[in-house]
Amino acid sequence: MTPTRKTTRLRITLNDELLAEAMQLTGRSTTREVIEQSLQLLVQVKRQERLRDARGFLKGIDTSIDRSDDPR
């Protein structure tokens, strides 16, 4: 059984040159594919930024793990 993905229908105005370049660079053939890939990339970048910021917050805190009792 395939999980159902919720979708949203939109009417938006896009920069034609930017869209054409994105389609050419990504090899995607539809506007929908370009927008979905762009949103996925944006989410990935923002998650990476959060992780980077969290690491910066932990700077100066000993985050090492004591593995002296690790049986490996």
pLDDT band at 6 (very low <50, low <70, confident <90, very high): confident
pTM metric for this prediction: 0.66
Q: Looking at residue 53, what is its pLDDT?
A: 80
Residue 37 resides in a domain: yes
Query: What's the per-residue H, E or C state across the chain?
Result: CCCCCCCCCCCCCCCHHHHHHHHHHHCCCCHHHHHHHHHHHHHHHHHHHHHHHHHHHHCCCCCCCCCCCCCC
Residue 24 resides in a domain: yes
Residue 71 resides in a domain: no
Enclosing domain of residue 23: 16-58
Kindly report, residue by residue over 33-72, the tens digit of the pLDDT: 999 999 999 999 999 988 888 776 666 666 566 666 666 5
Domains held by the chain: number: 1
Residue 70 resides in a domain: no
Report the 10 Å Cβ neighbour count for 5: 5
Residue 69 resides in a domain: no
Q: How far apart are CA 44 and CA 8, in angstroms?
A: 20
